[in-house]
Every structure is written in C-alpha cells, then in structure tokens.
Amino acid sequence: MSSVHESLTRRRRAEMRFRAYGLAAIALAVGMLVLLLATIGVQAAGAFSHHKLQVSVEWTDNASGPTPPVATLVSRLNTIVREDLETVFPKAMQDRRSQVELHDTVSRLALLPVANRLSRDPPTSGSLFAFDVALSDDIDLFLKGSPKLTSTVWTDGVDSIEQTVGDSVELIYEDGGLLALQREGESNEPTLLLQMGGVVIRVASITDSVVSGKVLVGEVSAIDDQDRSGAIVHRVAAPELQRNVSDQQIAWMLVLQDAGRIKRTFNADFFTNADSTYPELAGVLAAIMGSVFMMLVTAAVALPIGMAAALYLEEFAPHNRLTRMIEVNINNLAAVPSIVFGLLGAALLINFLNMPRSAPVVGGLVLGLMTLPTIILAARAALRAVPQTVRDAALGLGASKSRAVFDHVLPLAAPGILTGAIIGLARALGETAPLLLIGMVAFVAEVPDGPNDEATALPVLIYKWSNGAERAWEPATAAAIVVLLAFMVLMNAAAVLLRRRIDRTRL
Amino acid sequence: MSDQPSVSPKVSCKGVDVFYGDQQVIHNVSMDIADRAVTAFIGPSGCGKSTFLRCINRMNDTIEGARVEGLVEIDGENVNAQGIDPVTIRSRVGMVFQKPNPFPKSIYDNVAYGPRIHGLVRDQMDLDEIVERSLVRAGLWDEVSDRLDSPGTSLSSGQQQRLCIARAIAVGPEIILMDEPCSALDPIATARIEALIDDLRQRFCIVVITHSMQQAARVSQTTAFFHDGRLIEHGETEMIFTNPADTRTQDYITGRFG
Ligand SMILES: Nc1ncnc2c1ncn2[C@@H]1O[C@H](COP(=O)(O)OP(=O)(O)O)[C@@H](O)[C@H]1O
Ligand SMILES: [Mg+2]
C-alpha cells in the first residue's frame, strides 16, 4: 500500500517535470519568435515613413501650350526646390561646397512622382502649387534619430554677442557657469549646436564665461532680446567625420523643422515604387508582383500535378516494386536542396528551352518542381488519413472507384491537401537560392505586367537590399521582410478560411 | 451440404476458393442462399466469413492481392464472368458494415447518393420519394424526418446503422449483406436492427454475419457454420442449433471455442 503511494508521488513528480520541460520549450520558442518579430518590426518601422519637405510656389506657366515632358518638369521642380532652399538659407550660396550640401538634402529623383502628378493635372498659372519632396536618405535617417540628437534648453541668457572674423562669434556670459555646458560637450567630441531663434551656432570652444563658435545659419544681428534670454543646446552623438550628415545640414534641418516645413508621412512610395538604386525611392511593388506571378505559376504547376500524382499513387496504383521505387524517389526529391532545382532551371529551361531569363514564369516552374514532392507527400498523407470505411461505403453502394474517390475521399482529404499545398507554396515564396541562378537577381526598375516580363521576387529583393552600402537600406530591408511575412500570413489565413469553408460545406 | 431449399436459390456458390496473395483463406465452399430469407454466417473470428461474404458482391476486388476462384451466381448469372461490371453487381447487392459508416454528409444526401449515381431518378420528387421510402423501411423516418439536413454522423450509432441500411435499400437491391451489423451497438439498438432484419426478410435475400448465437437463432432461417476457411455445416437454423451434425459446430455453439 505505502509502496504504491510512494511510486505514485514519484510518478506524479515525473509528470510535473515533463510538463515543465514542455512549457519551457514552448516559452523558449515563443520568446525567440517575439524577439525576431520585434527586431524586424522596430527596424522596419523607419522605412514605412519618410520625412518630406513641404514646398509651395506660385506656379507660372511660361509655355502656354502642351504640357512639357516629365523630364523637363523634373528639372523645373528641381530648380524651384533649390531656389526655395537658397532663399531660406542665402548664406549657403557663399561657397560651392555648402551649396552642394544644401542641394543634397533633397533627392532629385523624388521629384519624379510630383512631376508625374503635375503633367497629369497641371495647375493654372498664377495659382499656388504645393508639393512634398522626399528628403535624402541620410537626412531622413537623421530625422528618424540616427545619429542621435539630444536637445536641452539652456536658460542662462547671453549678455553680449561679439562677431569676430567672418562667421565666428563669441557669446559672453558674464555670470560664468558654462562648465556644465562644457562637460556636456566633452565626451567623444560630439557636435554642440546652440540655437537661438533662427540662428544656429556650432560651438568650437567653451571657457567658464565665453562660448566661441561659428554661425551656421542666420545672421547674428537678427538675434533679438527675447532670443538672447536662453538657447536650445543640441548635441549630436557622433562626431561629424563619422556620419553622413554634416553639421551644416543638421543646422538647416533644425531651422526647417522649427518653421514646420518638414513632415513625416507614411511612405506610400515604398509600396508603389519599383526597385531603385536610391534607397529613399526603392519600393517593393515590382517584387510583390514578381512574387505573385511566380506563385501563380508555381501553384498552377505544382497543385494539379501534385494532386494527380498523389491520387494515383494512393488510390489507384498497384503496390509493387515500381510504385515503391517511385515513392522512395519522391521522398528523396523532397530533400534535394533548392539550389539544385535552380541549376536545373538554368540548364533546362533557359539554356535548352530558351525561356527568358529573370522571368517569373521560369522562377515559377522551378519553384513548382521544387514544391511538387512536398505537395505529393502532404496529399498522400491526407488521402491515407481518410478512413477505409468511407471508401467501402461508397464502393458497397456501387460507386465506381473514381466516383468514390472524387465524391467522398477527396473532399475529406481536401483540408489536409490544402494545408500541405500552402506549406509548400509558402516555402517556395521564401525561396531565394534557385532564383539567383535563373537571373532573377537582375536589377529591374519596372513593375512586371505578366509572368514573362523581367522581374525579381521579394526574397531576392531582400537579399539584394541587405547588401546595399547605404545605411538607409537597412530599414528598407527590414520593411521588405515585413512585407514578405505579411504575404505569408495572408496565404496562411487564406488556407484557414478555405479549410473552414470546406468543412462547412461538408457538414 | 444438407437439405437443399425447394425453390431455386438466389445465390449459388460452387467450389469457391479465396486467396490473399499466396495464402488461401477460403477452401472450396459451395452453398446456396435462399431468397426472401435470412441466412446467418457464424464461426470463430478469422475463419473467413467476411471474406466469403465479399465474394457475393465482388468487394474482394477492392482488396489488393485478393483473388477469388470458383463460381458465384446470382439468379444463375456468374458474377465473376468477364464483361460483368462489379458496379452493376453492387447495385443489386447492398452491403452494411460492422461499424456504421455514414458519409459525412446530410442524412438526405446519404440516402440519395446511391440513387443519384445509378441514375435511378428523373427529378427531385422521385428522389424525395425514394429517400422517404427507404428511411421508412429502415424504421428511421419518424426519428429523422424533421432533420434530413443534419449530418448523418450526428445520429446515435444505432440510428447511423439504420441509416446505412436505408442507404443500401435506396438503390433497390435484391440482396443485402450485413457484416456483424450489431457488434458496435447497445442491446436496445441491436433489438431494433434485429426487428428490422426480420421485417426486411419479406422483400430481400439477407445474409448476416454474427457472433451472437442468440441473434442467429432469432433472426435467421438458415445458418452456415464456417471454420478455418471451410464451410462445416449449413442448414435450417433450428437444426443447426438443436442438432448439429459436426462436433465442431456443437463445440462452437455451446461456447467451447471461438
Ligand atoms: N486484406 C487481407 N489481406 C490478407 N489477409 C486477410 C485480409 N483480410 C482477411 N485476411 C485473412 O483472412 C482470414 C479470414 O478473414 P475474415 O474473412 O475477415 O474472417 P472473419 O470475418 O470470419 O473474422 C483471416 O485469417 C485474415 O487474417
Ligand atoms: Mg469479419
């Protein structure tokens, strides 16, 4: 009696332990997943929005005739934007270098969509034409917080400002007490910018009562008494040489931001643009379309063939040496590395059958071949799971073999087949290696119209972007990953809905 | 073996052998089965009752590796003859299985499936009528007439088995084969099926495999005892149960083995 009791507690403890292991395993898996999604999500968040400069001009239609070509409009808009910036920051015109820096804050290509809009729907001459133009990727990154900018309000009023040579100034604080400011500026030689009203001064050195520096934006004479009563101290985390935005550019942006000229907008271009060599203009639409066409071809190849093969092998084929050999080989085929299918596609479809390179139809065929064994295996498992009694019932009523299969077995197996097919297709959707071999890595700047057009696919795009040199490719890559994941979630959701639908109609 | 029925038999088997691959499981069985009567097959598990039953509607065709030799005739027509489609045989010979196996469809669709595939109906009215008639004959109509759309699998197992009988009747068979139709049912459901079998005897030739001696005694007029793939004894049920000729039959029905 007591020994039974002892063994019972022991068994119960073992069970508890086992349950704990299981829970730990699940917690670990879920934790990893959350971590993965969170990092990608945080990274990607940057790419889904973009900072734009708001510009408005009085539109003068100098050529009253047909609207000029888009290229001309881009040039014209470019001039407008540049002149606008130069009016706000006239000092930038003093030397060539800062002029170029100023122009570099916006990207010229970002004017293309504006020009397109303009040519479709030209404003009447004399009316106000307002538009947004994307800031360059480095400026955008800076505005999104990289490198980090910390701004604090300095409430000591300056007593006098002396302009020494050119733009050099000395700010004199008679009460002293600037050491705190100095300390702040010492670590790692970051840039300190003092902003007073519309004037931005880069700090060069600080003593207890004197700040000397250089005026980057504005005129000292424009600083009024109210501006003198305090200052905003901006500290940029990295020294100028280690970042892609200059102190001068940062100073401009601070002023433009104060003037409310910069806004952060949802980056719709990311979803409507094709690939570009400029990260601020690059979008995923072409890759999405490429992937869609490819998946259509893959499904069109793999689903019917896979299902027919599974049906034949499972329901009709005799069980002999030949079918056993075929079975074994299908299993082997499912384990073949995907890159081998890419080689096959390159050799057979492109070199031998002369199909177009970089086309979704070729990618779809290759991925279809790759997915075929997976679908066959899943479909066979689903068919095998249908109880024999169902077949017996139908056959016993005098249904022919194929009627029994199509009326009863297939509908019962459909959810399983569907799940297997979706898993196979989802794997194909994320496949990169075989596509590299059939040339789908080529740079394609246009959205494909059909499966025969040159295209790229989402995973390949991610691969390419992740190799991009500019830092702005990083969030773009993460955002493309999010799009790919969303795509997969969508496919799985479709599968779940279809399953439900089938289950409902079947009762 | 023993006395032949005076009228011509519905099913007539002569020298039937069945093999699964190389293994012979039915040895030279000859038997006549009378129309409008219930014949019970009894015998220990694995003796070949089901296998022999499947010879009558060619269900052994669906089992890979099964091979039937010898003559099986329905109304004098060889069911294994060349050019005979097993589908036509099975439309004449209905089958009810051990485990109730309604399709995962509505009650109506379960019964309507057979008539539909055999093209027995011209329109919906015909079909409705067949479905109702079959359910009435299977003694299920009163219980399900108001929920023909609900799934057949939602019924109790006794009702499911009667649904399977209705489904078989709907095709208009001449023979109904039942392979242990009550072994998965409780006593009340069993009693209902037995009553139903007794009722159906008026119209059909029925063969029932059973492991219950009482059931065989209650529902059948003729009993066949199988042992080790051989037909040991075949005759009037009363004779078999009161005065068996073979000691193995005696041992089996008195519960000494099996
Ligand atoms: N599909 C099959 N393949 C091979 N052997 C089978 C198969 N079905 C039945 N058998 C064998 O045939 C013999 C008779 O089986 P069965 O007709 O099911 O017996 P019973 O219905 O009397 O219990 C048994 O020995 C069984 O193992
Ligand atoms: Mg049996």
Q: What is the mean pLDDT of residues A240-256?
A: 89
User: What average pLDDT does the segment A174-187 reach?
Assistant: 66
Q: Which of A104, A182, A107, A195 is nearest to A149 (CA)?
A: A195
Q: What is the homologous superfamily of the domain A285-506 according to CATH?
A: MetI-like (1.10.3720.10)
Q: Is B258 exposed, middle or buried (0-12, 13-18, 19+ CB in 10 A)?
A: middle
pLDDT tens column, B111-158:
999 999 998 888 999 999 999 999 998 989 999 999 999 999 999 999
pLDDT at A180 over 50: yes
Residue B53 CA, closest ligand 1 atom number:
17
Which residues of chain B make contact with A320, given a CB cutoff of 8 A? none
Burial label for A61, CB within 10 Å (0-12, 13-18, 19+), is middle
Q: Tell me whether A388 touches chain B (CB under 8 Å).
A: no
- A385-395 pLDDT per residue, tens: 999 999 999 99
In the block, tokens 């008679």 appear at: A174
pLDDT of residue A1: 58
Summarised one tens digit per residue, pLDDT across range A409-451 is: 999 998 889 888 988 898 899 888 888 888 877 777 777 887 7
Q: How far apart are CA A13 and CA B221, in angstroms?
A: 61
B50 token code pair: 């089901």
At A357 the pLDDT is 80
The pLDDT assigned to B2 comes to 44
* Cis-peptide into A147, omega within 30 deg: yes
- What pLDDT, on a 0 to 100 scale, did the predictor assign at position A225? 78
C-alpha A93 – ligand 1 centre gap (Å): 99
pLDDT at A37 over 70: yes
Kindly report the nearest CA distance between residue A39 and chain B, in angstroms.
46
Average pLDDT in the A443-465 region?
83
What is the number of other CB atoms lying within 10 angstroms of the CB of residue A320?
9
Q: Which residues in chain B are closer than 8 Å to A394, comparing Cβ atoms?
A: 103, 113
CB pairs under 8 A between A and B: 69
Residue keyed to tokens 């934006």: A217
Residue B169, C-beta contacts closer than 8 angstroms, at least 6 positions apart: B94, B134, B137, B138, B176, B200
| Distance, CA of A103 to CA of A93 (rounded, Å) | 11
Q: What is the distance between the alpha carbons of residues B153 and A503, in angstroms, rounded to a whole number?
A: 14
Q: Which residue, among A408, A337, A332, A415, has the nearest Cα to A381 in the 3D structure?
A: A415
Q: Which of A60-69, A152-161, A360-369, B150-159 shows the lowest per-residue confidence on average (mean pLDDT)?
A: A60-69
> A297: which 2 tokens?
């071809």
Higher pLDDT, A450 or A321: A321
Q: How far is the CA of B208 from the centre of ligand 2 (A)?
A: 11
Listed by start position, the domains of chain A span 47-141, 148-242, 285-506
**Mean pLDDT taken over chain B:** 92
Task: Provide the edge-to-edge strand list for the sheet that holds B230-236.
Answer: B93-96, B175-179, B205-209, B38-42, B222-227, B230-236
pLDDT at residue A194 greater than cutoff 90: no
pLDDT in tens, B51-83: 999 999 999 998 988 999 999 999 999 999 988
pLDDT of residue A74: 85
User: How much is the average pLDDT of B26-32?
Assistant: 95
Q: Output the pLDDT for position A114.
A: 83
Residues in Cβ contact with B181 at an 8 Å cutoff, skipping those fewer than 6 apart: B96, B97, B98, B161, B165, B193, B197, B208
Per residue in B211-225, pLDDT (tens digit) is: 999 999 999 999 999
What are the pLDDT digits (tens) for A257-283? 888 899 888 877 788 878 877 777 788
pLDDT band at A31 (very low <50, low <70, confident <90, very high): very high
Identify the band that residue A166 occupies on the pLDDT scale cut at 50, 70 and 90. Answer: confident
- Kindly tell me if the per-residue pLDDT of A336 is higher than 60: yes
Tokens of residue B205, six digits: 């030739």
Q: How far is Cα A356 from Cα B10, in angstroms, rounded to an integer?
A: 69
User: Taking the CA of residue B42 as centre, how many other CA atoms within 13 Å lie in the half-sphere pointing to its CB?
Assistant: 31
* 3-state helix/strand/coil string of A159-210: CEEEECCCCEEEEECCCCCCHHHHHHHHCCCCEEEEEECCEEEEEEEECCCE
ipTM of the complex: 0.91
Beta-bridged to residue B74, according to DSSP, are B11, B77
CA A177 to CA A183: how far, in whole Å? Answer: 11
**Model confidence band, residue A504 (pLDDT cutoffs 50, 70, 90):** low
Chain A residues touching residue B106 (CB < 8 angstroms): 507
Domain boundaries of chain B, sorted by first residue: 9-253
Q: Which residues contact A36 (CB under 8 A, 6 or more apart)?
A: none
Q: State whether the beta carbon of B45 lies less than 6 angstroms from ligand 1.
A: yes
Chain-chain contact of B101 with A408 (C-beta, under 8 angstroms)? no
Residue A406 tokens, joined:
């199509």
Cα–Cα–Cα angle for A38, A41, A47, rounded to 5 degrees: 160
Pocket residue to mutate for ligand 1, from B50, B227, B232, most atoms within 8 A of Cβ:
B50
Q: Mean of the pLDDT values across residues A24-38? A: 94
Q: Which residue of A has its CA nearest to B58?
A: A396
Does ligand 1 come within 6 angstroms of the Cβ of B60? no
Protein fold of B9-253: Rossmann fold (3.40.50)
Q: Give me the pLDDT at residue A221, please.
A: 80
C-alpha A180, offset from chain centre: 42
> How far apart are alpha carbons A62 and A125 in whole angstroms?
8
Which pTM was predicted?
Answer: 0.77
Look at residue A399 and tell me whether its pLDDT is greater than 80: yes
**Does the C-beta of B48 come closer than 6 Å to ligand 1?**
yes
- How many A from CA of B48 to the centre of ligand 2? 7
Around Cβ B255, how many Cβ atoms within 10 Å? 8
| Shortest Cα distance, chain B CAs vs residue A408, angstroms | 8
Query: DSSP H helical segments within A385-432, as ranges?
Result: 388-396, 401-404, 410-429
Residues in chain A, how many?
A: 507
